[in-house]
Amino acid sequence: MTALASRSGRSTPGDTRRRLVVIGNGMAGARAVEEILARGGAVQHRITMFGDEPYGNYNRIMLSHVLSGEEDAGGIFLNSLDWYRENDITLHAGVRVDKIDRFAKLVFSDDGRATPYDVLIIATGSRSFMPPVEGLYTPGGRLLPGVFAFRTIDDTRGMVSYAQQDHRRRAVVIGGGLLGLEAARGLQSHGVDVDVVHSGRHLMNAQMGPDGGAVLRRSVEALGIRVHTSSRTTAILGGDRVRGVQLRDAPDIECDMVVVAAGIRPNVEVAVTSGLPVERAILVDDHMRVPDEDEIYAVGECVQHRGEVYGLVAPLWEQAAVLADHVTGANPKATYLGSRTATKLKVAGVDVASMGLQAPERDTDEHVVFSEPSRGVFKSIVIRDSKIVGATLLGDSRKVAYLTQAFDRGLPLPEERVSLLFDLGGPDEEAGVAELDGDAQVCNCNGVSKQAIADTVRGGCTTLSGVMDATRAGKGCGSCKLLVRQVVEWAADGAVEEDPAAAYYVPGVPLDKAALMAAIREQGLRSVSAVFAALAPGGAEDSKSKMGLASLLKMMWAGEYIDERDARFVNDRVHANIQRDGTFSVVPQMKGGVTSPEQLRRIADVADKYNIPMVKLTGGQRIDLLGVPKEDLPKVWADLDMPSGYAYGKSFRTVKTCVGQEFCRFGTGDSTKLGIEIESRFQGIESPAKLKLAVSGCPRNCAESLVKDVGVVAVDGGRWEIYVGGAAGAHIRKGDLLATVDDPETVKLLAGRFMQYYRERANWLERTYSFVPRVGIEHLRAVIVDDAEGLGAQLDAAMQESVDAYVDPWAERNDPFTPGQFRTSLPLEVLPQVPVR
């Protein structure tokens, strides 16, 4: 014991809790830990998790949405890194476990660590199966450039950025199951032309029979996806990168990328190397324990239970609950007896549900089928002894809830079988929902029951979006949204309110942006309080709306705006960026990223004088002084004696530049000079969301201009390209080419005109990467470059007015705008302290 404890290196003396180690930080591993915590397990266990992906835990199901661009990769995290910290869980992210020593009770990881455990959970999941196809790998053993698996965030990000390169026009997806179809649909949204090559005779053959598969094929082909069934890929062509695929018995298909979605294989290497029993996957008993190992459990896709290996999340949830009951001792009698898998999914935009048998197996089985291929509807139900033993539904999921329940519980069926498929005469949909039990799970991703939704509605929440926010139902894969809506409608007795607020510019004023601006102008409303008084219901202020209104009014009225400081977010009240410990970070202006020894010296002196805990270079080529207490801000600014660099607001921030013509061998334009001019002109301009710009001196793009809100690139012949709507954050998007112009003056004019148009039309917090695709680059080109709507002069004048109204906010250092503007708001010692390096 002493030997083990000393090897762990981090055990605190007196901590007598059992050491619980989890290998695998995916959906099952994290869920098991959540279930353990929910049973008070933190008191008994000190938890350590290993995950070889360098992230916290995320919702893998949502990767399809990330691929299609409906969701940011940042939006799919189930547990942020904070969650681990809050729950005192040690997470080794990006670390792989290679071996378990069952006798010494240690796990060995690839960072050279040996971690002792008292209880071990293996949740290593699966990986994509790579079929033996020639040319899949480079001689170095890596996947050929252009070939992707579809399993992780990194896979998905890789696909998105590859697909977004302009010359990648065609993709082949290998595998016509659920994942392959999702991948195909996702790639289409990046303008890529897709073929699906499937070795089975029909699509999704694991979930449905040939008739359903044929109907699905029609629906998929109607989306413009070409389908090749009974067709095997024999080689990937290209050599240095993907140029096509070779099929058995069919002509080659030319393409630029290949996505392999040909099934999954459980990750069992650790278990095999460590001598645990493995067949198709790691064996477990009804307690989720590995046979003959009292302290080793396994859960998730890496597990084989009573001969079954599951590839969907619902069974994992059930397994995790049983496992937690045993690990914590909450219910030593809990048993997992297997799951009846009912799949309810939206595959490539088509509703698909399948459960149990695909087709009758015995002579006495009844088979009820309805098929309407032209509408993409297919329904098939297999009945044995008056119980449902299988069903497939395509394109119409209204009866799914009822059928799933009947299948799960073996409910007796109506005499008239056809009413299983259709709602005859009755008040249709709702009847199905009304029949559901309260504890029936409506949202599988987040485990929300019908009862929970009904209670929320009865508690007064009667909009779909309100219920979704309150319960998180429908916020996973989204396949249950229709059902959630139905339950809400049923519970609200038809009194569901549409959520009109979705179209409002800010939640507290019931107007969209255009109507709001018109009303503000008409009534001459110059302050946020005046807007609330005139336009909000009951004249009520709304804290959530203040910042958006302040920004809008400042844009509309420039110098005539009446500045009420309480309408601003604290960042804009003190002109610095609030950090997690309540201190602020200060970024002095450095136009175009250019500085001088004199400035650097001053910054260094200030950092010394105020004990700045961290000095850091930002991604936008500026210097950030982090950890400044609020009360020090005025002194710090005074000593810096530089203007504000706008690192905090929803505003124009920086222009990143490369060295360009002045120094670079390749530069064809003076990017630094133009960057400085742009930054001088537009400094501090408010906008609906932050604006980051860049200027590069040649198409090598060292300033990364293609992924900026506005990016400028010098091209040969003294000309300049202007890109808009790029992003390289949580969302990645290459900007669209707005115009190619002859001189820097025109760059400044058009960039300003674009920004003004964006300021006037974009929704609050809508970044240009959403705005540009929403309004369309052709439209923007027409308005901004060709002045097709005659708005040019007006936009230019409005921008000029904002430019002229510029005042450096740091000037407030000598003359605070409000009493106590820089007075501290908290006793700093209670906050989590930011580490000092």
Partner 1 sequence: MSAELFNDRQAGGLHILGPVDQIPVGEGRAYGVAGEQVAVFRLRDGSLRAVSAVCPHKGGPIADGTIDRTVVMCPLHQHAFELETGCSTTGAGPLRSYPVFADESQNIIVRLP
Ligand X SMILES: Cc1cc2nc3c(=O)[nH]c(=O)nc-3n(C[C@H](O)[C@H](O)[C@H](O)COP(=O)(O)OP(=O)(O)OC[C@H]3O[C@@H](n4cnc5c(N)ncnc54)[C@H](O)[C@@H]3O)c2cc1C
Residue type, position 123, single letter: A
What's the DSSP call for residue 415? S
**696 is a site residue for ligand SF4 (CB under 6 A):** yes
- Helical residues (DSSP H) of 306-425, grouped into ranges: 313-328, 400-409, 418-421
**582 is a site residue for partner 1 (CB under 8 A):** yes
Do strands 303-305 and 710-715 pair parallel, antiparallel, or not at all (unpaired)? Answer: unpaired
Piece of the chain touching ligand SF4 by CB under 6 A; list 226-234, 530-538, 699-707, 728-736: 699-707
β-bridge partners, 626: 614
Among 547, 606, 626, 655, binds partner 1 (CB under 8 A): 547
| Least separation in angstroms between CB 688 and ligand X | 32
- Which does residue 50 touch among ligand X, partner 1, ligand SF4, none (CB within 5 to 8 A, set by kind)? ligand X
Residues 653 to 712 in contact with ligand X, rule: CB under 6 A: none
Q: Where are any strands of DSSP class E within 679-830?
A: 691-696, 710-715, 719-724, 727-728, 732-733, 736-741
**529 is a site residue for partner 1 (CB under 8 A):** yes
Piece of the chain touching partner 1 by CB under 8 A; list 51-59, 159-167, 563-571, 744-752: 563-571
Among 680, 701, 800, 821, binds ligand SF4 (CB under 6 A): 701
- With 0-12 / 13-18 / 19 or more C-beta atoms within 10 angstroms meaning exposed / middle / buried, residue 769 is buried
Full DSSP string of 577-590:
EE-TTS-EEE-B--
- With 0-12 / 13-18 / 19 or more C-beta atoms within 10 angstroms meaning exposed / middle / buried, residue 262 is buried
- Which does residue 180 touch among ligand X, ligand SF4, partner 1, none (CB within 5 to 8 A, set by kind)? none
Residue type, position 291, single letter: P
Angle between helices 464-471 and 481-491 (to 10 degrees): 110
Among 7, 17, 18, 96, binds ligand X (CB under 6 A): 96
Residue closer to partner 1 (CB basis): 395 or 508: 508
> Under rule CB under 6 A, how many of the chain's residues touch ligand X?
36
Among 167, 544, 665, 837, binds partner 1 (CB under 8 A): 544
- Which does residue 819 touch among ligand X, ligand SF4, partner 1, none (CB within 5 to 8 A, set by kind)? partner 1
Residue closer to ligand X (CB basis): 96 or 102: 96
Q: Sketch the per residue contact string, 376 through 415, with partner 1: x for CB under 8 A, - otherwise.
A: ----------------------------------------
Residue recorded with tokens 């809008």: 552
- The gap between the terminal CA atoms of the chain, to the nearest Å, is 35
- Which does residue 486 touch among partner 1, ligand X, ligand SF4, none (CB within 5 to 8 A, set by kind)? none
Both tokens of residue 176?
């016509």
- Which does residue 820 touch among ligand X, ligand SF4, partner 1, none (CB within 5 to 8 A, set by kind)? partner 1
Piece of the chain touching ligand SF4 by CB under 6 A; list 41-49, 78-86, 424-432, 695-703: 695-703
**391 is a site residue for ligand SF4 (CB under 6 A):** no
Q: Please, are residues 172 and 197 in contact by the beta-carbon 8 Å criterion?
A: yes
Tell me which residue of 559, 558, 508, 552 sits closest to 534, measured CA to CA: 508
Cα–Cα distance for residue pair 436/161, rounded to 1 Å: 44
Q: Where are any strands of DSSP class E within 322-463?
A: 342-347, 350-356, 366-372, 377-384, 387-394, 441-443, 448-449
Q: Sketch the per residue contact string, 54 through 73, with ligand X: x for CB under 6 A, - otherwise.
A: ------xx-xx---------
Residues 268 to 287 in contact with ligand X, rule: CB under 6 A: 270
Q: Where are any strands of DSSP class E within 134-169?
A: 147-149
Residues 637 to 676 in contact with ligand SF4, rule: CB under 6 A: 658-660, 664, 666-667, 671
Both tokens of residue 729?
């954050």
Residue closer to ligand X (CB basis): 123 or 509: 123
Helix, strand, coil fractions of the chain, as percent rounded to 5? 35, 25, 40
Instruction: Give 688's contacts (C-beta < 8 A, 6+ positions apart).
Output: 548, 551, 650, 758, 759, 762, 763, 764, 765, 766
- Which does residue 300 touch among ligand SF4, partner 1, ligand X, none (CB within 5 to 8 A, set by kind)? ligand X
Q: Please, are residues 693 and 656 in contact by the beta-carbon 8 Å criterion?
A: yes
Q: Sketch the per residue contact string, 705 through 744, with ligand X: x for CB under 6 A, - otherwise.
A: ----------------------------------------
**564 is a site residue for partner 1 (CB under 8 A):** yes
CA 642 from centre of chain: 38
CA distances from 478 to 179, 350, 424, 509, 685 (A): 16, 12, 28, 29, 38
- Which does residue 697 touch among partner 1, ligand SF4, ligand X, none (CB within 5 to 8 A, set by kind)? ligand SF4
Cα–Cα distance for residue pair 512/500, rounded to 1 Å: 10
CA distances from 544 to 255, 570, 818 (A): 48, 13, 22
- Which does residue 701 touch among partner 1, ligand X, ligand SF4, none (CB within 5 to 8 A, set by kind)? ligand SF4
Helix (H, G, I), strand (E, B) or coil at 45: strand
Q: Please, are residues 193 and 253 in contact by the beta-carbon 8 Å criterion?
A: no
- Which does residue 546 touch among partner 1, ligand X, ligand SF4, none (CB within 5 to 8 A, set by kind)? partner 1
Residue type, position 785, single letter: V
CA distances from 352 to 180, 216, 218, 566 (A): 14, 9, 14, 51
Q: How many CB atoms lie within 10 A of CB 260?
A: 27
| Least separation in angstroms between CB 644 and ligand SF4 | 27
Q: Sketch the per residue contact string, 491 through 520, with partner 1: x for CB under 8 A, - otherwise.
A: -----------------x------------
Q: What does the radius of gyration of the chain's CA atoms come to, in whole angstroms?
A: 30
**442 is a site residue for ligand X (CB under 6 A):** no
Residues 171 to 230 in contact with ligand X, rule: CB under 6 A: 179
**78 is a site residue for ligand X (CB under 6 A):** no
**578 is a site residue for partner 1 (CB under 8 A):** yes
Residue closest to ligand X, measured at CB: 26
Residue closer to partner 1 (CB basis): 583 or 672: 583
| Least separation in angstroms between CB 440 and partner 1 | 25
Both tokens of residue 250?
């069919």
- Which does residue 601 touch among partner 1, ligand X, ligand SF4, none (CB within 5 to 8 A, set by kind)? none
**565 is a site residue for partner 1 (CB under 8 A):** yes
Cα–Cα distance for residue pair 621/630, rounded to 1 Å: 24
Full DSSP string of 293-316:
-TTEEE-STTEEETTB---SHHHH
Piece of the chain touching ligand X by CB under 6 A; list 290-298, 313-321, 655-663, 798-806: 313-321
Residue closer to ligand X (CB basis): 314 or 520: 314
Tell me which residue of 178, 152, 217 sits closest to 312, measured CA to CA: 178
- Which does residue 529 touch among ligand SF4, ligand X, partner 1, none (CB within 5 to 8 A, set by kind)? partner 1
| Least separation in angstroms between CB 827 and partner 1 | 5
Residues 13 to 32 in contact with ligand X, rule: CB under 6 A: 23-29
Cα–Cα distance for residue pair 513/500, rounded to 1 Å: 13
Among 566, 605, 631, 786, binds partner 1 (CB under 8 A): 566
Residues that bind partner 1 (CB under 8 A): 508, 529, 540-544, 546-547, 564-567, 569-571, 573, 578, 580-582, 818-820, 823-827, 830-832
Residues that bind ligand X (CB under 6 A): 23-29, 50-53, 60-61, 63-64, 96-97, 123-126, 150-151, 179, 267, 270, 300-302, 311-314, 316, 345, 477
Residues that bind ligand SF4 (CB under 6 A): 658-660, 664, 666-667, 671, 696-698, 700-702
